[in-house]
Amino acid sequence: MTRAPAAAGLRNYAIVTAAYWGFTLTDGALRMIVLFTFFKLGYSPFTLAFLFVLYEAAGIGANLIGGWLAARFGITRMLMVGLVTQISGFLVLSAVSPLWAAGLLVPWVVMAQGICGVAKDLTKTASKSAIKITEADAKGGVEGRLFRWVAWFTGSKNAMKGLGFLLGGVLLEAIGFRPALWLMAAALGLVLVGVVAFLPPLLGKAKASRSVKELFAKNRGVNLLALARVALFGARDVWFVVGVPVYLYASGWTFVMVGGFLALWTIGYGLVQAMAPAVVTRSPDGLSREVPAARWWALALAVIPAALAGWLAMSPAYGDVVLVAGLCVFGFAFAVNSSLHSYLILAYAGSEKAAEDVGFYYAANAAGRFIGTLLSGLLYQVGGIYTCLGGSALMLALCLAATLLLPLNTRSRIGPAAA
């Protein structure tokens, strides 16, 4: 391998990472701006969750079609489409007025959030698919680089999302709902200019699937990992989306305190993700140690929400402190699990159709977030934080069961994708 392709691979990886950082910063801010704005207007926990339902549901289809489009038209073009779509969503959302009747306001916000959900998952699928392409260009025989690049990309992205949570709270307090959205749309416009100017237009373009059957012909590892991902992210969001912010606010925390804590938690979670290659022993084949590690970390994670729910039920005093401490422990184990999954999907993915496999996997990720978001508001309204934690424990038991069945090789591809 010549030095020029290797340098180009590193350069393109850095550009994609920087673009996704900018996107994620504004996406994290958006969540806090919407959550706090409509909580202050008096909407119930279930309605707050409902505002995010289309945001999450739209990601299911966006990931599936996004992976196919990225293979057919190139990753750079899909990044551009994702950024333009997010800017459009911000502008649509900025048109809303708190004076509108709920019958108009809620559907409008749900629609705008759906646009942003499509944008997020188109951008995520394109960006994460780019890692395998750019790593192959830059590899040069370096063992374990794919795991390190995935871990750094995922961890740094979540650190930026955490900063976005804090940014959302600060912007809402400092300049208000509508100016904050306009400012973030302008910032994404600058990111879009950078992508157009510096990334090769046909990056990642490959032979796309020619039928729905071929598109869904995945190997056993991809299918099981997708199931585990549904359960993993459902288990996080079932208490993180509505339960934790509302519980902490009801315990006397301010919006800035809640946003600041969620920011610090997400930044710490991202840092742990970036450290995952140092926590997990790597193997020459990329699976024989990594898959057992995923199983053990899934088991450890499943215990935490169940133990936390029991603790809070027996000793509700200082519940906010206990919840924060428990969330920190949960965050560490969740970060390692998530980083392992993000690596394993690229290890299992077919090299010629990595974007399609990644899109399928992140469609499952979006399905998990959708289920968790909906249940977060519903379960909190029914039984408070205790039922949210119970739902999380059940989902993590399913995640563990799927992880136990993961194969230790990549030879079991199905149909045309196996060629």
Question: Whose CA is closest to 259, among 163, 176, 348, 181?
Answer: 163
Considering Cα of 209, then 213, then 219, then 224, what sign does the dihedral take? positive
- In angstroms, rounded to a whole number, what is the distance separating the alpha carbons of residues 118 and 2? 38
pLDDT digits (tens, 9 = 90+) for 64-73: 676 667 667 7
Taking the C-alpha atoms of residue 149 and residue 277, their distance in angstroms, rounded to an integer, is 10
Phi, then psi, of 201 in degrees rounded to 5: -65, -25
Per residue in 316-346, pLDDT (tens digit) is: 777 888 888 888 899 899 988 988 888 888 7
Q: What is the pLDDT of residues 248-267, one digit of tens each?
A: 888 888 777 887 888 888 88
CA atoms within 13 A on the CB side of 256: 5
Look at the chain and count its residues.
419
Could you give phi then psi for residue 310, rounded to 5 degrees? -65, -40
Long-range pairs for 292-295: beta carbons < 8 A, 24 or more residues apart: 293/340, 294/337, 294/340, 294/341, 294/344, 294/403, 294/406, 295/400, 295/403, 295/404, 295/406
How many angstroms separate the CA atoms of 315 and 236, rounded?
23
85-115 per-position pLDDT tens digit: 999 999 999 998 878 887 888 889 888 988 8
Residues 6+ apart with CB under 8 A from 280: 147, 289, 290, 293, 336, 340
pTM, whole model, 2 decimals?
0.69
Tokens describing residue 357:
């496999």
Sign of CA dihedral 41, 47, 52, 54: negative
